[in-house]
Amino acid sequence: MRTVYKVLAYFVAIEVAVQAMAAVWAIAGLGKWVEGGGVVDKALMESEGMPFPEVAGFIVHGINGTFVIPGIALLLLITSFFARVRGAIKWAVIVFVLVVVQGQLGFLGHEITAVAALHGLNALALFGTALYAARRMRTAAPSKVSPPEERVETPV
Amino acid sequence: MISIKLPRTLRVALPFLATLAILAPLTWMWHASRVPAAYSVMDMGYPDYGGVQPDLSMAGHAHHQLGHPFVPRRSITDLIADPTRPADVRVDLVARQQQPTGGASLAQYTLNGTSPGPEIHAIRGQLVEVHLRNESVTAGVTLHWHGLDVPNAMDGVAGVTQDAVPVGGAFTYRFVADQAGSFWYHSHQVSNPQVAGGLFGSLVVRPRSGVTQQLDVSAIAHTYAGVRTINGKAEDLQVPARGGERARVRMANTDNGPMEVWSSGPYRLLAIDGSDVHRPSEVSGRSLTLTSGGRADLEVTVPTDGTAARVQVSKAVAVIIGPLGARTPVPPQPAEDLDLLTYGSPAPLGFDPAHATRRFDYVIGRRPGFVRGRPGMWWSINGHLYPNVPMFVVRGCNPAPGRCPMPAPATTPAPRAMICSSSSLSDDAFIAASSVISRFWYSVASDWFIVCIPSFSCPVCIDE
């Protein structure tokens, strides 16, 4: 379970990196398309087509952020119950909360653009937290697997 | 660190209980959001009587179906135009799932081999008969007459007023075009891909007296797979005209989102969404927001200095009216919008909104949840997700002559809506509200009128 926990936490970090790349790739494509004379308005955004290939970046960002990352964070949380490592649940909860906050900031950012800036900042917090949650599994002590009197306190 | 000593069995069970505590509500929500493959809109959502106690004695037998006390007294299929009256306008339309031949168009569907389909013309009061045949649209097809009041059986809403026409099938639509104005028709079966992919066309009803302008131009703005077009072509629409001539430009937006329209010179907005504007004044320096599915009749005058009048549709395409070869640069986009609530002069409404007998809330929101088993951030109506949406219920008019301002139910008009105030709405919310209002549809299945909003819970859909 510790390995599963570690892998899932790394996946969250990787996915945050993918999100950043997808968003910037898409915005660059949008800029290039507008430079070439393309016109963007709501009617185009709601249309079925892909006026420029980097639109895929927006789609990837949306699907990852709405479904994939919350799904991984949920699996991480469930895995943490079985990991039997001190602090595993705590860090999985923090990752999960940051994911939920990240989603809300993302949706709200379309209305209040300053919130979108926080979406970017929270992404860094999530990336760092997920990475830490994964890496601490290498050194973290098992919890409550042995009787408490035999347990050795490890400073974290 | 304090360690609490738990019994061993509990220690083993706790992770499983915690997992169950997370997964059980999610599974329940997922399960509850599923809908059967086939269901009746009559059983969908919950009735909202607008603050009035329902008079169940009017609902036929005292029979309740899933909380809906409606029992059809007459079938929707009886609500038709006079079957004995001969048609004044006859049109045959063949729907195909194919790209148009000989063009670079990105349409996926055609009507009579083209997209948009042929423009249908009528004079107010004429009986229009459209024979639709589905040659190859695998998901089936219908035709809906967007904005026009037609007998309910002719409204073309698959699953509500008729079944979709399968491949090899046909359906004949008959209705009296009793409103003069600019309308459009489109498929109302799997509307999102079918309309975006090309199953639509223009429908123009002219007054018996004709129009006063020298030129009458229809311009449908549509985006096929990301490509902006006017009347199906990804280029400006050139209309030859002489200096001083006046043109009526019937703009229609058949996309899923609003677009801005503005002009190189002053313009008058003669009609909006098929209704004439009362005493329209000349507009300069304002752009017009043409909502999804909306129509705007603009009057522009060709300049006498040899240039052309240019009606810009976003910055992508334009209608250029003037001498052949005349050039007019893209006019700068005005920063401000034309406010339709204050434009023109007040005209008698025919009813008093202050004395409404029923009041309904329709609050559009977004919240996380499951719709049809899929998780997501979904649109909500009054806080509920599809299919748990309100069904607005009002009393039908008494068919006795002289007692009802509207015609008897057999020709009941679609409930068109009038926006009385928008002070508390942001621009976006206003646009959303106006497009939602234009998407109400209805079914008359007893003395009750049922305004239902069946599938608003998809993030992007054109469901009119």
Q: Cβ contact (<8 Å) for B316 and A74?
A: no
- What range defines the domain where residue A88 resides? 2-141
Which is more confident, B210 or B395? Answer: B210
ipTM of the complex: 0.77
HSE-CB for A131 with a 13 A CA cutoff:
11
Please name the fold of domain B211-350.
Answer: Immunoglobulin-like (2.60.40)
A40 within domain boundaries: yes
Cβ contact A48–B225 (<8 Å): yes
Overall average pLDDT of the B7-13 stretch: 84
Choose between B439 and B38: higher pLDDT: B38
| pLDDT tops 60 at residue B274 | yes
A109: chain B residues, CB-CB within 8 Å: none
Interface test with B, best of A4, A33, A46 (most B CBs within 10 A): A46
Q: Among the residues of chain A, which ranges form H helices?
A: 2-35, 42-45, 55-63, 69-83, 88-108, 113-139
Chain A residues lying within 8 Å of B3, measured CB to CB: 144, 148
In the predicted structure, residue B439 carries a pLDDT above the cut 70 = no
Give B121's pLDDT tier (boundaries 50, 70, 90).
very high
Nearest C-alpha in A relative to B461? A46
Nearest CA in chain B to A107: B377
Higher pLDDT, B437 or A19: A19
pLDDT for residue B56 is more than 80: no
pLDDT of residue B165: 97
Check whether B95 has a pLDDT greater than 50: yes
Q: Stretch A100-122: mean pLDDT, rounded?
A: 94
Does the fold of domain B211-350 match that of domain B78-210? yes
- Quick check: is A47 in a domain? yes
Instruction: Say what the pLDDT of residue B216 is.
Output: 97
CB burial readout B51-76, b (16+ within 10 A) else e:
eeeeeeeebbeeeeeeebbbbebeeb
- Cα separations in angstroms, B59 against A119, B63, B397, B448: 53, 8, 14, 7
Q: Is the pLDDT of residue B383 over 90?
A: no
pTM summary value: 0.81
- Please state, in angstroms and rounded to a whole number, the distance separating the CA atoms of residues B415 and B438: 9
Residue A149 within any structural domain of the chain: no
Is residue B395 within a helix (H) or strand (E), and if so which, with residue range? strand B390-395
Q: Residues A19-27: what's their mean pLDDT?
A: 97
Q: Is residue A99 part of a domain?
A: yes
Token look-up 């998809």 returns B458
Query: What is the phi/psi pair of residue B184, to 5°?
Result: -150, 160
Residue in this structure with the two tokens 């985006």, named with its chain if needed: B223
H or E element in which residue B430 lies: helix B427-437
B contacts of A41 (beta carbons < 8 Å): 257-260, 314
Q: Is the CB of residue A1 less than 8 Å from the CB of residue A84?
A: yes
- With bands split at pLDDT 50, 70 and 90, how would you rate the model's confidence at B459? very low
**Helix, strand or coil, per DSSP, at residue A151:** coil
Task: Evaluate if residue B123 carries a pLDDT over 80.
Answer: yes
Query: What does the pLDDT read at residue B399?
Result: 37
B225 with A39: Cβ contact below 8 A: no
Yes or no, beta carbons of B196 and A50 under 8 Å apart: no
Contact residues for B424 (Cβ-Cβ < 8 A; gap 6+): none
CA-nearest residue of chain B to A111? Answer: B428
Any domain includes A151 = no
Q: Residues 6 or more apart from B402 whose CB is under 8 A from it?
A: none
DSSP A64: I
Q: From CA B247, how far away is CA B303, in angstroms rounded?
A: 11
CA gap A57, A102 in Å, rounded: 18
The HSE-up count of residue B180 (CA atoms within 13 Å, CB side) is 12
In a domain, A154, yes or no: no
Residues in CB range of A80: below 8 A, 6 or more apart: A5, A88, A89, A91, A92, A93
Judge: A45–B257 Cβ closer than 8 Å, yes or no. Answer: yes
Residues B307 and B304: their CA atoms lie apart, in Å, by 7
Output the pLDDT for position B64: 42
Among B102-106, B116-120, B181-185, B435-439, the range scoring the smallest mean pLDDT is B435-439
Tens digit of pLDDT for each residue in B18-38? 999 999 999 999 998 888 887
> Does B242 have pLDDT greater than 60?
yes
Residue A146's pLDDT band (boundaries 50, 70, 90)? very low
CB A2 within 8 A of CB A86: no
Instruction: Decide if B223 and A49 are in contact by the 8 Å CB cutoff.
Output: yes
**Whether the predicted pLDDT of B401 surpasses 50:** no
Selecting from A67, A77, A153 the residue whose C-beta is nearest the C-beta of B375 gives A67
Given an 8 Å threshold on Cβ–Cβ distance, is B376 in contact with A66? yes
Contact B255 A78 (CB under 8 A): no
Tell me the chain B residues in contact with residue A49 when contact means C-beta distances shorter than 8 Å.
106, 223-227
CATH topology of domain B78-210: Immunoglobulin-like (2.60.40)
Mean pLDDT of A82-86: 90
Residue B405 has pLDDT above 50, yes or no: no
Contact A46 B106 (CB under 8 A): no
pLDDT-based confidence at B76, cuts 50/70/90? confident
Taking CB atoms and an 8 Å limit, are A39 and B223 in contact across chains?
A: no
Query: Looking at the predicted structure, is the pLDDT value of residue B334 above 50?
Result: yes
Instruction: Say how far apart CA B440 and CA A50 lie, in whole Å.
Output: 30
Dist CA B42 CA B452 (whole Å):
9
Residue numbers in A near B197 (CB within 8 A): 48
Distance CA(B137)–CA(B134), nearest Å, equals: 6
Q: What is the mean pLDDT of chain B?
A: 80
Q: Could you give the angle at the alpha carbon of B462 between the alpha carbons of A32 and B361, nearest 5°? A: 115
Report whether pLDDT(B461) > 70: no
On chain A, the residues whose CB falls within 8 A of the CB of B375 are 66-67
> Which residues of chain B have a CB within 8 Å of the CB of A50?
225-226
Instruction: Tell me the average pLDDT across B73-82.
Output: 77
Q: Which residues of chain A neighbour B368 with C-beta distances below 8 Å? A: 103
Structural domain boundaries in chain B: 41-71+352-404+415-452, 78-210, 211-350
Q: Do B228 and A144 touch (CB under 8 A)?
A: no
- Mean pLDDT of the A63-89 span: 94
Residue B272 belongs to what H/E stretch? strand B267-272
Tokens 């993918």 identify what position? A18
Q: Considering its fold, how many domains does chain A have in total?
A: 1
pLDDT of residue B460: 21
Specify if A123 maps to a domain: yes
Provide the token pair at B371: 């719709």
Q: What is the pLDDT of residue B420?
A: 62
